[in-house]
Amino acid sequence: MENVNEAIKPIAGLIFKWFDINVTEADKTYTVSYELDKTIGFIAGIDFTTNRDKLMYQRGTHRLEVNRFEVFPEGFPTKKVYHLPDVEAHKRFYRRGGKIPVGNGIVKVEYKDTNDASTPFEPYSIRVVLDCELKDS
């Protein structure tokens, strides 16, 4: 059984970073690179949010890499990483079981919007949210 005191993280250790991808055209791939602060040592979780749930859910796939390490392969369904707002806050992040070292601090996302007959295109935006941890001092 897990010791509850070991799972508690001080509020000062909670670091969230995010960046946006503006999807302005249908059936197009958007590539965005984001550089994390030098104080960030690990990514503990990843989440995708949007202002148009159905569009991202039905139309979106992506590839995500951290420090040239592929976390999600090309064509990974974004709906597998997306959580509806009614999900408890601590469960919204996709976690791979361990922390991802950030190395050079570059996070790269290739997001692809693909035509879908059930969801006509209109511009939307994607927010990639990273649950980060500071480097050990």
**What domain count does the chain have?**
1
Distance CA 19, CA 97 (A): 23
Whether residue 73 is contained in a domain is answered as: yes
pLDDT band at residue 45, thresholds of 50, 70 and 90? Answer: confident
Residues 81/72, Cβ–Cβ less than 8 Å:
yes
pLDDT (mean) for 44-68? 92
Whether residue 3 is contained in a domain is answered as: no
Whether residue 48 is contained in a domain is answered as: yes
Q: 63-121 pLDDT, tens per residue?
A: 999 999 999 999 999 988 776 555 565 566 766 667 889 999 999 999 999 999 999 99
Distance CA 8, CA 30 (A): 37
pLDDT (mean) for 33-61? 92
Q: What is the pLDDT of residue 81?
A: 79
Residues 131/44, Cβ–Cβ less than 8 Å:
yes
pLDDT (mean) for 50-56? 92
- 51 contact partners, CB below 8 Å, separation of at least 6: 124, 125
Q: What's the CATH number where 72 sits?
A: 2.60.120
Distance CA 35, CA 37 (A): 7
Whether residue 54 is contained in a domain is answered as: yes
The range of the structural domain enclosing residue 22 comes to: 14-134
Q: What is the pTM of this model?
A: 0.83
Whether residue 70 is contained in a domain is answered as: yes
Q: What is the pLDDT of residue 79?
A: 86
Q: 14-41 pLDDT, tens per residue?
A: 789 999 999 999 999 999 999 999 999 9
